[in-house]
Structure 1
């Protein structure tokens, strides 16, 4: 075979590889959305009509595949977060940020799991989670400094709310898909400064929060 013939044959192979990768991502998006981050990789490979070895060649770890599958959700979340951070009214920015977060969480069980857990050893996931925590602290601090949000709310309280919402979504996603929004607004009323009452338990520390999110990942 001549060099020119060989070069002509390479692009189709690259296209075939890209098509297999695209099928894997599409299958992973469906499976993770339905069953969460622990969905069967074997089933994903079958749905994509490829061997499990092909899946691992494209995505060496589960997290590699998960991040590729969640990319549209993460982009949707990021776009909504930027808009919320640009809202001048501090309370409205806080509300907008949480509503966007919960709306994206409600649409995908895999994203729901991703929000709730930490994956030590993965710089990419740690970066995303750290950025999200920084954003939450920013919108919360703005609302507190404006006197709109009660001053004793901490980052851990918002992450706890994400966990609570995750369980609510598990129970209601097929029967009452909008139930999360009602519960969010009930909680937002509790977060208003004018409704504040003493709380007998302090918030979790950052270390406790991180360990709890790691524990959730190991537990499942």
Structure 2
């Protein structure tokens, strides 16, 4: 009888940990990273002491909660870069990153925010940005992506995409896909676009009714705060 006790304790601990992570995914997905730890414990059906025994800080809980999404993000970037068609790779990256964000307000918050050093989402975002820059270079060279596109346009897009979280859950994914489809069409090169490298006369006036050139893209990456309040204090 006594020989079974350690096994039962370990089994209970594993079950509690799994319930906490399931609860955290659900709570952070709907409420974002501002949700308090006590709400996660309540949702998991465990006491605060049990939660903190497994995850001493909120940073630790968030890091483990979104481990699978981070792995998925790495796969999306890798597959997009490996695609022999750069425009298709670019499209798929935009579509799948939007879908990943649509599933969880918390993951979108972590991805878009320079979070404390225990969470390496900043590196995930930079990896995605570098992939977009490389895919954009290839797609522009192939004449498929607007020559005016710059990598910070992706970050601007993801900032706007966060509004999808306000859509009712049942319609959220469809709204995200529609948003991504509109953005991809906006990025697509169209007849009359200047081809990268083609000289454009400074004195050339736009034709009547022609759309004005896009304003310079804001430097969004440099606008991110480099530190945020410690979430473990919440």
Contact 1:45-1:55 within 8 A present in 2 as well: yes
SS of aligned partner of 2:190: helix
- Report the CA distance between 1:63 and its aligned residue: 2.3
Give the Cα separation in 1 of the matches to 2:173 and 2:67: 23
Q: Which runs of 5+ in 2 are unaligned?
A: 194-211
1:19 to 15, 24, 37: 15
CA contact (8 A) 1:120 1:126 kept: no
1:200 aligned partner: 215
Q: Deviations over 1:26-52 (max 9, x none)?
A: 111111112112122101112222221
Between the aligned partners of 2:15 and 2:229, the Cα distance in structure 1 is 34
**SS state at 2:167 partner:** helix
Of 161, 169, 187, which residue of structure 2 is paired with 1:191? 187
2:148 corresponds to which of 142, 148, 152 = 152
> How many residues are treated as equivalent by the alignment?
212
**Distance verdict in 2 for CA 1:84–1:49, change over 3 Å:** same
Q: Which has the higher helix share?
A: 1
Q: Decide whether aligned partners of structure 1 residues 108 and 202 sit closer, same or farther in structure 2, where only a CA change above 3 A counts.
A: closer
**Structure 1 runs not aligned, ≥5 long:** none
Match of 2:203 in 1: none
Q: Distance in 2 between matches of 1:71 and 1:117?
A: 16
Which residue, 62, 66, 72 being the options, matches 2:68? 72
Q: Which has the higher contact order (CA 8 A, sep 6+)?
A: 2
Q: CA-atom RMSD, angstroms?
A: 2.8
> TM-score, normalized by length of structure 1?
0.82
Partner of 2:137: 141
